[in-house]
Amino acid sequence: MASSKHLILENARRLFSENGFKGTTIAQIAKTSNVTDAAIYRHYRSKQQIFDSIINDFFDEFSGLMDSIHERQKSGYCLIETLILDLDAFLDERVVELKVIMNTYTIMPSARQIMERMYALLGLTLERCLEKGMRDGTVRDDLDITPTASLIAVMLMGMSRRQLYWPETPNLAQEAVTFCQRSIRSL
């Protein structure tokens, strides 16, 4: 049986995703969690703290994914494929959390910080993949690493947004892999 704290987070996550931060109340979270408002306040000081807990947990998992990509012993060229496909799967499994962040980052400073940290970490991970590929000879050595990594990061996050808001559209992860590998491949 799930703890009340877990139920509160699960229901808050869903409500924030559906109604946004401002459209979600502590009373709604309590009702859908079958707890009292007081029970929520035993675990969290405010709706903001619940929200921040959700998005920080998401970022911690995202960070773990980026760390795991660093640890893989493939060429830099192959790491790009691993990163794109693993990121696609990760975000596909966390649609609700991603929607919470995407729907609020323009109005919630904490969500904006998470988005900025995600882009920065994704860009850094891509830079490391490109650098490794340059060292092992699988990636062109004439690439300007930082702008290339930034461009790929923006493309990947844009694809995620497209998949999030238009789920009926085809997933383009494999096409992104092909495009990126064709663009960076050492001759």
pLDDT in tens, 28-41: 999 999 999 999 99
Q: Which residue, chain included where needed, has tokens 């050492």?
A: 186
Mean pLDDT of 39-60: 96
Burial of 77: CB neighbours in 10 Å, binned 0-12, 13-18, 19+ = buried
**Residue 147 Cα to chain centre, angstroms:** 20
* Tens-place pLDDT, residues 112-138: 999 999 999 999 999 999 999 999 999
Rounded to 5 degrees, φ, ψ at 8 are -60, -50
pLDDT the model gives residue 83: 93
d(C-alpha 124, C-alpha 106), whole Å: 23
Domains belonging to the chain, first-starting first, are 1-44 (1.10.10.60), 47-184 (1.10.357.10)
Q: Retrieve residue 44's tokens.
A: 């969290």
Q: Where are the alpha helices (DSSP H) in the chain?
A: 4-19, 26-33, 37-43, 47-71, 76-93, 95-104, 109-136, 145-165, 173-184
- Position 97 pLDDT exceeds 70: yes
| Cβ atoms of residues 187 and 142 within 8 Å | no
Q: How far apart are the first and last CA of the chain?
A: 56
| Cβ atoms of residues 43 and 126 within 8 Å | no
pLDDT the model gives residue 76: 82
Tell me the average pLDDT of the chain. Answer: 93
* Tens-place pLDDT, residues 141-176: 999 999 999 999 999 999 999 999 999 999 999 999
- Position 1 pLDDT exceeds 80: no
| Cβ atoms of residues 62 and 121 within 8 Å | yes
Q: What is the largest CA-CA distance in the chain?
A: 64
Q: Which residue, chain included where needed, has tokens 């920080």?
A: 56
- Report pTM: 0.91
d(C-alpha 58, C-alpha 102), whole Å: 12
Mean pLDDT of 44-64: 97
